Homo-oligomer: A and B are copies of this chain.
């Protein structure tokens, strides 16, 4: 694509950090591939997510939010594994090169990248429908990753932060709200990946997953992988700021149960570990709220979820 080299040099390379010990990068962007030095006695954790215009974000979403969001949703997978974020790669597809747009997109992306102490180690820019695919790489001491399959009957179920903000923010967007300072809209457009919480939960949690498709759907994956069930306390669900005011109590709870794009962690842990975990997350300024218990019998009890089988991401008018 015409201008690819210039784009990469200008917007990607400058913030990739210097090769060196801190970044774990021994050869930075500019060759056929980057070289990195993994930490000894660690496992690598990798994941990829694509965000497509009209599917995962509206056409008129602010580019800065899009850059932030594209990395945050991938980073959330590292959070769910308890991994230390290290490196990322970005594949950006654009209908045309609008320098202003790219600059703002890069600003949002790099803000999240810097905050997570990650280094961008690869990129590609192509022409087509606007979309961005982000690969994230993290590290975790061998054997210490949080997984989906470790929940045991009797474990407490808890969530970080608050739920329903993704769905509430999307509803606000549909209603024409555009102020990113609005808590709900920010929850949708500028999600915060809970990677610090993931690190703090290592050694405490028996299982974890991030809430990208809705609490019930994602908790369902965790329970299935662990061969257990759950009883939830619907009244205990922490609701995102402004959600009840915006949607009313019932719809707010529904959003918390089935809304997507929250990017909180739902965690199973022995009750003896819960207080330590809550204190550790409080030090990060993050709530950690018990919402139920793991049961030996399968299925999810305590909430009426039969009518709400799952979350559909943002869809444009055509789908």
Contact = CB atoms under 8 A, between A and B. Distances in A.
Contacts of A32: 47, 77-78, 80-81, 148, 209-210
Contacts of A121: 46
A166 to B, nearest CB: 17
Interface string A33-61: 11111101011111111111111100000
Nearest to A52: B128
Interface centre among A1, A26, A46, A148 (most CB of B within 10 A): A46
B225 A30 contact: yes
Contacts of A138: 33
Interface stretch (A86-94, A155-163, A288-296): A86-94
Interface stretch (A103-111, A129-137, A174-182, A231-239): A129-137
Interface in A92-123: 93, 121-123
A38 B30 contact: no
Interface stretch (A139-147, A246-254, A300-308): A139-147
A42 B129 CA distance: 38
Given A50-B126, A122-B47, A122-B48, A35 B140 contact: yes
A42 B35 CA distance: 10
A27 interface: yes
A134 to B, nearest CB: 9
Mostly, the A contact residues are: strand
Contacts of A149: 31
A131 to B, nearest CB: 6
Chain A interface category by residue count: 35 or more
A53 B27 CA distance: 31
Contacts of A35: 43-45, 81, 140, 145
Contacts of A1: 55, 313
A10 interface: no
Nearest to A4: B213
A18 interface: no
A241 interface: no
Contact of A44 (B30, B38, B90, B124): B38
30 contacts: A26-B43, A27-B147, A30-B148, A31-B149, A32-B78, A32-B81, A32-B210, A33-B47, A33-B81, A35-B43, A35-B44, A35-B145, A36-B43, A37-B43, A38-B42, A40-B40, A46-B121, A47-B89, A48-B90, A48-B122, A48-B124, A49-B91, A50-B93, A50-B124, A50-B126, A52-B127, A52-B128, A91-B133, A122-B135, A124-B133
The 4 closest A-B pairs by CB, nearest first: A129-B129, A52-B128, A33-B47, A32-B80
